[in-house]
Amino acid sequence: MSKAPYEDDDKKMKRRAAPNAGLERIYVQCDSYSEKEKKALISDFNHFFGGKQGYKPPINEKNWVVLSFPKLNDAEDFFISQASKGKNMVILDGSTNPMKVMGYSNGDGTLYHADGSELKAGDKLKASDTPYQDFEMPEPRSKYGM
């Protein structure tokens, strides 16, 4: 896994991220840092939120996509929809130093809290105690209990 962005990059992100009612500076590490996966995530984000009040365009930086969400609950709705498409990603709180894991999807169609419990509609994403550099993506679970 890649190291989190340098402190100077973090300061630059603070200047570019605009305040809104939702979550700001959510870093997403896509499957194997694939440029194709990052572009797909950005496209989906633009389609999901384009034109909404408070919308800020995503930022494609190094191995990360940095997202800010227009309002509360938008992050959870967006990431649940991405997970249901089988996307691999780690969701990080960019306001913590070091960045802490908020959730992940390992490609099995489910979004998880950092502790491995399923994130369901109505749940909130929040930073865990797990720093990104200590996080290991669990293997996908079988939907049949195997």
User: Considering the domain boundaries, does residue 34 fall inside one?
Assistant: yes
Q: Hey, which residues does 104 pair with through a beta bridge?
A: 90, 112
At 75 the pLDDT is 93
In the chain the beta strands, taken as DSSP E runs, fall at 26-30, 59-61, 64-67, 88-93, 100-106, 112-113
Over residues 54-82, mean pLDDT: 89
User: Considering the domain boundaries, does residue 75 fall inside one?
Assistant: yes
Instruction: Tell me which of 97 and 4 has the higher pLDDT.
Output: 97
Over residues 114-140, mean pLDDT: 92
User: Considering the domain boundaries, does residue 142 fall inside one?
Assistant: no
Model confidence at 38: pLDDT above 80 = yes
Helix axes 35-49, 74-84, angle to 10 degrees: 130
User: Considering the domain boundaries, does residue 81 fall inside one?
Assistant: yes
Average pLDDT, the chain: 81
Model confidence at 2: pLDDT above 70 = no
User: Considering the domain boundaries, does residue 9 fall inside one?
Assistant: no
Q: Which domain holds residue 34?
A: 26-131
Model confidence at 23: pLDDT above 80 = no
- As for how many domains the chain has, the answer is 1
User: Considering the domain boundaries, does residue 146 fall inside one?
Assistant: no
User: Considering the domain boundaries, does residue 90 fall inside one?
Assistant: yes
At 61 the pLDDT is 85
Enter the pTM of the model.
0.79
Instruction: Tell me which of 145 and 114 has the higher pLDDT.
Output: 114
Model confidence at 16: pLDDT above 80 = no
At 117 the pLDDT is 95
User: Considering the domain boundaries, does residue 102 fall inside one?
Assistant: yes
Over residues 62-78, mean pLDDT: 88
